[in-house]
Copies of this chain bind each other. A is one copy, B any other.
Amino acid sequence: MLGITIRDVAKRAGVGVGTVSRVLNNHPSVSAATRETVETAIAQLEYAPSPSARRLSSGKTYTIAALVPFFTLPSFVERLQGVVTALEDTQYDVVIYNVETLERRDHYLKTLARRQRFDGLLVVSLPLSDREAAFLLHSGLPTVLIDSDQPAFRRVVIDDVFGGRLATRHLISLGHERIAYVSDQLGAPFGFVAGKHRLEGYCQALSQANIPIHPDYHAAAAWHGVPEARQAASHLLKLSPRPTAIFASSDVQAMGVMQAAQDAGLRVPDDLSVIGYDDIYLAEYMHLTTIHQPLFTSGVEGVALLLDLIQQPDQPSSAVSLDVRLVTRQTTAPPAV
């Protein structure tokens, strides 16, 4: 099995290497009989083609790269799982690059596009500056964006403004007026825009209901984690008048908010309503009311776009928009009277 080459197979089958290559690649112009012979030889020899040789010769790598920020955050993991799963039945491998700092992002963006390391690139949830976008485009590496909205690319997008509106409207419909919002740093340092968009939706919903927007009711947590959101929410809960509901811009942050509520001796949803965003796997366990967005599916769709783009590189950019929806569980209720 080791050291067996296409030449051995050719000899054994009594054909030329070209023919073996053709059956390997399902080329139509091989007679059934010949194909049969060759396949037998392949089986007998337990031959497996060398990926390296195939890559060099064909110029294709059968590998795509996925650039993912904060690998461990549940929402990114669920997207990534969609990617990995969608690629399972294809001939493509996926190599993962985890981005936790700006340096790494820049480093990867710069190096991944060089030479024929990959047939395609999937950028997950990472906003691209115009410069980076131009660079990638110019590099010729087929690239698809998931959860990132650069018009020059094929991409999978989610309407976070709408999601933010949905969340806030739900709270309003319950009778809340003092509604606070916990987000990340609104873009710094990676330029994530989801938090900003959800804020926008939040403001829209408030305005439409003629509820004044209270800047103090927006707290930006230092990071995307639980403890940071907890701290931000604690601050909010000390305000007077105290908000009766908090919209957290992610489910993970909603967990921090619920912790803060507990710290303050407030019961959810009796004393405080909490709504999250994402609907990660654990949200159900938390009984968390949240905005569901198709995380897994976004990965699957991204792969579909990319494979298509690899086949036909010169396609116009376009966006596939995925829907969000409200999932009502047990952390929201009408405000106490």
A residues lining the B interface (CB < 8 Å): 1-2, 48-53, 55-56, 59, 61, 63, 71-72, 74, 77-78, 80-81, 84-85, 88, 93-96, 98, 104, 114-117, 140, 226-227, 255-256, 259, 281-282, 284-285
Contact = CB atoms under 8 A, between A and B. Distances in A.
B284 A226 contact: yes
Given A63-B95, A285-B259, A1 B114 contact: yes
Dominant secondary structure at the A interface: helix
Contacts of A78: 72
Given A53-B56, A56-B56, A88-B104, 18 more contacts: A2-B115, A50-B116, A51-B61, A51-B115, A51-B117, A52-B52, A52-B56, A71-B77, A71-B81, A71-B84, A84-B96, A94-B95, A94-B96, A95-B96, A226-B281, A226-B284, A255-B282, A282-B282
Given A50-B116, A61-B52, A116-B52, A2 B140 contact: yes
Contact of A56 (B50, B80, B93): B50
B63 A72 contact: no
Contacts of A52: 52, 55-56, 59, 61, 116
Q: Which 6 A-B pairs have the closest CB atoms?
A: A52-B55, A52-B56, A48-B114, A93-B95, A226-B285, A56-B56
Copies of this chain, complex-wide, total 2
A255 B280 CA distance: 15
Nearest to A111: B48
Nearest to A117: B51
A324 B176 CA distance: 47
Contacts of A104: 88
Given A56-B56, A96-B94, A284-B226, A49 B115 contact: yes
A53 B57 CA distance: 9
Contacts of A95: 63, 93-96
Nearest to A50: B115
A7 to B, nearest CB: 15
A48 B81 contact: no
Nearest to A286: B255
Given A2-B140, A77-B77, A93-B95, A116 B72 contact: no
Contacts of A77: 71-72, 77
Contacts of A114: 1, 48
A77 B78 CA distance: 11
A221 to B, nearest CB: 14
Contacts of A284: 226-227
A84 B98 CA distance: 7
Contacts of A56: 50, 52-53, 55-56
Nearest to A258: B285
Nearest to A71: B81
Nearest to A140: B2
25 contacts: A2-B115, A48-B114, A48-B115, A49-B115, A50-B56, A50-B116, A51-B61, A51-B117, A52-B55, A53-B56, A55-B56, A63-B95, A71-B80, A72-B77, A72-B78, A72-B81, A85-B98, A88-B98, A88-B104, A93-B95, A95-B95, A96-B96, A226-B281, A226-B282, A256-B285
